[in-house]
Amino acid sequence: MTDSTRAETRPAGTGEDTGAPRGVSAPSPGPEATISAPETTADAPGISSGKKVVRIGDRVFSSIATGSGAFVVVLIAAIGIFLLIRAVPALQVNQESFLFSGVWDTRNPSSLHFGVLYLAWITVASSLVALILAMPISCGIALFLTQYAPRNLARPFAYIVDLLAAVPSVIYGLWGFLVLAPVLKPIAMWMNTNLGFIPLFADGNSDTLISGGNVFTAGVVLAVMIIPTITGVSREVFQRTPTSHIEGALALGATRWEVVRTTVWPFGRNGFIGGSMLGLGRALGETMALTIILSATFDAPRYSIFDAGATFASKIALGSGEFNNNLQVGAYISAGLVLFIITFAVNALARWIESASGKGKE
């Protein structure tokens, strides 16, 4: 290995000098390096034959890199497989219809009752409320940051919005339930009294209009949590609007708003939808905020946004106390598997929309 160490010291020095791409400094060590090239050929005497040089270091390194790449693929497969393996035994002894029942009683391992219908409703309802609130706001922020904000302020402003994502979800949960819910109460009451004839705003399955532990509060908090996700993606696509389009519109006498409507929005629409799907994926899997906010209840939901209950994720988090028997855990793992499949599908769709929007416009 003495040869190789000698060979490696010199380029390393160059590497530090040329840390930045300076074309000028490269030629000076050039001649020396041509001399050292044969030395490196001797690096792996056993393998090298003729002109093609195969270095052991290269082989090892590229295998590690490829192995790591393959590991990620295996990892996702492993998640699906392990969850499935652990879910099946519990599903086999389940006394309820897993998909079409909402009853959840896993306290007795010898007679398990679990179905995900109610969980699915609360999960989907809170995520949709979040999406409906977050989509227009995120779109507005992204347009504001890319088209309106002064250029030197756009970056710090974007950073501020990103900070929303840095707050841990458990803290959003505390804030949502203890601080925000009382503030939202009058709004919820107003919707309930004036729009109560629509089932969506009718009384829920528990007294959550007073406590605030309902889908509505959860949705508002989720909206805050997914705004940075949607904004981030939208900002990127809106920024990529060709300058020639914008300048063309301006030259024709368009106002800022007309520029946005005629060039930026049509160009970035698909990316915005993709970003919203990513946000939806995040909302569906969000755990702690909902674990804290949503009141627990055994009653069937009335399909109102003032329902209480649990989402897939919060049910699992709350059930961790029951994790002492493989069958009981299996019931929760079955719910986790459903959540995994849903988020997988939503995320895959989001990426597909995003990549399709990038290609179509060029």
Under rule CB under 8 A, which residues in 66-95 are in contact with another protein?
Answer: 66-73, 75-76, 78-79, 82-83, 85-86
Q: Of 138, 232, 129, which is closest to residue 188 (Cα–Cα)?
A: 129
| Of 125 and 192, CB closest to another protein | 125
C-alpha atoms less than 13 angstroms from C-alpha of 349 in its C-beta half-sphere:
13
Q: Is position 148 an interface residue for another protein (rule: CB under 8 A)?
A: yes
| Of 147 and 192, CB closest to another protein | 147
Only one of the segments 102-110, 111-119, 166-174, 187-195 lies at the binding site for another protein (rule: CB under 8 A); that segment is 166-174
**Minimum distance from residue 141 beta carbon to another protein (Å):** 5
Q: Is position 119 an interface residue for another protein (rule: CB under 8 A)?
A: no
Among 246, 332, 353, 357, binds another protein (CB under 8 A): 332
Only one of the segments 105-113, 189-197, 257-265, 301-309 lies at the binding site for another protein (rule: CB under 8 A); that segment is 257-265
What does the alpha-carbon distance between residue 241 and residue 270 come to, in Å, rounded to a whole number?
A: 12
Which residues are within 8 A (CB) of 239 and not within 5 positions of it... i.e. 6 or more apart? 146
Convert 201-259 into a string of H (helix), E (strand) and C (coil).
Answer: HCCCCCCHHHHCCCHHHHHHHHHHHHHHHHHHHHHHHHHCCCHHHHHHHHHCCCCHHHH
Q: Is position 50 an interface residue for another protein (rule: CB under 8 A)?
A: no
- Binding-site size for another protein (CB under 8 A) equals 114
**Minimum distance from residue 197 beta carbon to another protein (Å):** 29
Q: Is position 251 an interface residue for another protein (rule: CB under 8 A)?
A: no
For the stretch 342-347, contacts whose Cβ atoms lie closer than 8 Å and that sit 24 or more positions apart, written own/partner, are 342/284, 342/312, 343/281, 343/284, 343/285, 346/277, 346/280, 346/281, 346/284, 347/277, 347/278, 347/281
Among 1, 2, 23, 45, binds another protein (CB under 8 A): 23
Among 292, 305, 308, 353, binds another protein (CB under 8 A): 292
Q: Is position 166 an interface residue for another protein (rule: CB under 8 A)?
A: yes
**Minimum distance from residue 303 beta carbon to another protein (Å):** 24
Among 105, 247, 258, 299, binds another protein (CB under 8 A): 258
Among 128, 165, 250, 300, binds another protein (CB under 8 A): 165
Q: Of 337, 330, 273, 361, which is closest to residue 119 (Cα–Cα)?
A: 337
| Of 50 and 197, CB closest to another protein | 50
Q: Of 141, 342, 353, which is closest to residue 230 (Cα–Cα)?
A: 141
Only one of the segments 65-73, 99-107, 186-194, 298-306 lies at the binding site for another protein (rule: CB under 8 A); that segment is 65-73
Q: Of 216, 259, 242, 195, which is closest to residue 361 (Cα–Cα)?
A: 242
Longest dimension (CA), the chain: 87
What does the alpha-carbon distance between residue 117 and residue 103 come to, in Å, rounded to a whole number?
A: 8
Kindly list the distances between the CA atom of residue 25 and the CA atoms of 15, 18, 30, in Å, as whole numbers in the listed order.
10, 7, 9
Q: Is position 284 an interface residue for another protein (rule: CB under 8 A)?
A: yes
User: Is residue 155 a contact partner of residue 235, using CB atoms and an 8 Å limit?
Assistant: no
Q: Is position 62 an interface residue for another protein (rule: CB under 8 A)?
A: yes
Amino acid residing at 108: N
Which residues are within 8 A (CB) of 169 and not within 5 positions of it... i.e. 6 or more apart? 225, 286, 287, 288, 289
Among 168, 182, 199, 242, binds another protein (CB under 8 A): 168
**Minimum distance from residue 268 beta carbon to another protein (Å):** 14
Kindly list the distances between the CA atom of residue 84 and the CA atoms of 89, 102, 295, in Å, as whole numbers in the listed order.
9, 21, 29
Tokens of 190: 């107003």
| Of 12 and 198, CB closest to another protein | 12
| Of 195 and 348, CB closest to another protein | 348
Map the footprint of another protein across residues 188-227, applying CB under 8 A.
Answer: 224, 227
Tokens of 95: 């006394």
| Of 190 and 257, CB closest to another protein | 257
Q: Is position 182 an interface residue for another protein (rule: CB under 8 A)?
A: no
Q: Is position 343 an interface residue for another protein (rule: CB under 8 A)?
A: yes
